[in-house]
Structure 1
Amino acid sequence: MELRDKAYNDYLGGMKYKEIAEKYGVSINTVKSWKQRHNWQRKKGAHKKKKGAPFCNTNSVGHASSVPKQNSNAVKHGLFAKYLPPETAKLVQAIEKKSPIDILWENICIKYAAIIRAQKIMYVTDSEDLTRRHVMESEEADTYQYTEAYEKQAAFLMAQSRAMGTLNNMIKQYEELCRAGQADEEQRLRIQKLKAEVDSIKNDAPDKETVTFTFDRKSD
């Protein structure tokens, strides 16, 4: 059984974050991160002895005990259910359970995937890689738009530079959260691995496969 699973069993048994951290030699932030990322939940009061009301206690008469009057979660989720589509409301509730560092990590992965995909879509074969696009058809003649190789390469380099700048800023934010103690060992290792991969693609040639847009002139 993994360390995290053992900690989860102790959490279900009612142990506090500090007690779990001391037992397994990890930080309290690591325990909290496990809870958020793996959605640990336990029944409220399951680890406590139920206390009965004192004899002749009339304070609870006429008061419902199931839902507190000032339960803001019910109000908030009620607003979601009223004004948001069901799919969006579920996403909002799922995001609420995530830690800021995990949300940032998912955005980093999305941006990195887009950069990798662009290597293939925007690849320019050589200086003769000319793209011809059919833009207008008329009785007299057809009109084409031509994009030279240098124009496509320049557009690719500019787009890649902007995307890499955004990615690097996101990685810096992630590292700041790590230094602030908001990351566990697994989260620290994954950003180190990603940084190595990002460095490796900066000077690598794009994939040899390319997507070209060619439009032949329609026959009369």
Structure 2
Amino acid sequence: MARERSTNRTAALKLWLKSGRTMKLGEIADELSVSAALIRKWKFLDKWDEVPENRRRGGQPGNKNSVGNAGGSGAPIGNDYALKHGYYAKYIPEAVMQIVEEIQESDPDPLDMIWNHIIVLEAMLLHGQKITHVSDRDDMTKELKKKRSGKHGTETEYEIQFAHDKFANASKTNVLMMREFRSSMKQFLSMAPENDERRKKLELMDVQIAQAKLKMENAKKDDKKSDAEEWTESLKQVAERRKAMGKET
């Protein structure tokens, strides 16, 4: 059974609209004797910024969406949109829908949801460093791709990834992850109160991620430096061989 909507929640929106959408959330919170975080949550969930101006309730002139509906409160009998989430229930896997329902029942704070997303992203970034780590330029991965038997023996095909391939793939993945991480951080900081202790934790996370990024960039520079040194050494060897051949003739 759905919980009854808080009267303060509706009153908060009315106060904000009545002020011409200029009343500060902290002032609304003081007037209703609730926390500013709760007002911020209601504004996010109810999409206050998307509420149209001067729009009367019910169907608009010329709107025929309700033709065939006998009227009354709510949707027609048999309409399970609220319970089944409309077409989502039809196409989204059942396991995912169960998670969605559990999340909705817990009524999470949007700020907490963003924070949890940040934590997961940080864990994935740091865990990914171990998986995609390239020890040196000779680091190579050889995996069996295909194996089949024929008249002339067994045909085996391997997929080989050299160090520069592995490093390039890891770099691309980390760039995308960092972009998502930064975006989530920015969104959290724009919503979180100044006294939220998680702001300090974000600073620490930012330092850890920056260190990991610097480590990758240094490794990339070292790899380029090694390639240049190897190329220079090869040129020296060629020159020495030519010089030796000239002496012999």
Calculate the TM-score normalised by the size of structure 1: 0.52
The structure 2 residue matched to 1:174, chosen from 176, 188, 197, is 188
Aligned AA for 1:109?
I
1:31 CA displacement? 6.8
Q: In structure 2, give the amino acid aligned to 1:98.
A: P
Decide whether the 8 Å contact of 2:111 with 2:191 is kept in 1: yes
Count of equivalent residues: 147
Q: How far off its partner does 1:162 sit?
A: 1.6
Mapped partners of 1:158, 1:117: distance in 2: 16
Structure 1 counterpart of 2:136, one-letter code = D
Q: Deviations over 1:141-164 (max 9, x none)?
A: 422222111111111111111211
Matched residue, 1:88: 97
Cα deviation, residue 94, structure 1: 2.9
| In 1: Cα distance, 2:190 partner to 2:31 partner | 27
2:35 to 28, 33, 49: 28
CA pair 86-148 structure 1, distance change in 2 beyond 3 A: closer
In terms of fraction of residues, the more helix-rich structure is 2
- Measure, in 1, the Cα distance between the counterparts of 2:96 and 2:179: 32
| Separation (CA, whole Å) in 1 of partners of 2:214 and 2:186 | 21
Give the secondary-structure state (helix, strand or coil) at the position aligned to 2:215. Answer: coil
Does the aligned pair in 2 maintain the 1:101–1:174 contact within 8 Å? yes
- What is the aligned partner in structure 2 of residue 190 from structure 1? 201
Gap runs ≥5 in structure 2: 1-28, 41-72, 75-79, 217-249
Query: For each residue in 1:8-39, what CA deviation from the matched residue of structure 2 results, as whole angstroms up to 9, or x when unmatched?
Result: xxxxxxxxx64997xxxxx9325778xxxxxx
Supply the distance in 1 between the matched residues of 2:96 and 2:140 (Cα, whole angstroms): 44
**Percent identity for Structure 1 against Structure 2:** 18
- Unpaired stretches in structure 1, ≥5 consecutive residues: 1-16, 22-26, 34-68, 206-220
Distance 2:169 2:36 in 1: 44
Give, in whole Å, the separation in 2 of the partners of 1:86 and 1:127.
Answer: 43
Q: Greater relative contact order (Cα 8 A, min sep 6): structure 1 or 2?
A: 1
Q: Could you list the per-position Cα deviations for residues 98-156 of structure 1 after superposition, in whole angstroms to 9, with x for gaps in the alignment?
A: 12211111111111111111101111111111111222223254222221111111111
Q: Secondary structure at the match of 1:202?
A: helix
**C-alpha distance in 1 between matches for 2:162 and 2:187:** 38
Q: Distance in 1 between matches of 2:95 and 2:137?
A: 51
Three-state SS of the structure 2 residue aligned to 1:160 is helix
Q: Within 2, Cα distance between the matches of 1:119 and 1:77? A: 43
1:58-79 CA distance string (max 9 Å, x none)? xxxxxxxxxxx76xxxx77633
Q: With structure 2 as the length reference, what TM-score do the two structures score?
A: 0.46
The reply to whether residue 113 of structure 1 matches residue 123 of structure 2 is yes
Q: CA shift at 1:199, angstroms? A: 2.3
3-state SS, counterpart of residue 133 of structure 1: strand
Contact kept in structure 2, 1:29 and 1:184, CA below 8 Å: no
| CA 1:113–1:101: 2 relative to 1, 3 Å | same
Contact residue 143 and residue 159 of structure 2 kept, 8 A: yes
Q: Which amino acid aligns with 2:168?
A: A
Task: Rate the CA distance shift 1:93–1:202 in 2: closer, same or farther, 3 A.
Answer: same
Change (3 A) 1:146 1:184: same
Report the CA distance shift for 1:95/1:200 in structure 2 as closer, same or farther (over 3 A).
farther
**8 Å contact 1:135–1:145 — kept in the other structure?**
yes
Residue 127 of structure 1, aligned match among 125, 133, 137? 137
1:139-178 equivalences in 2 (<5 Å): 139-178=153-192
CA distance in 1, matches of 2:198, 2:161: 44
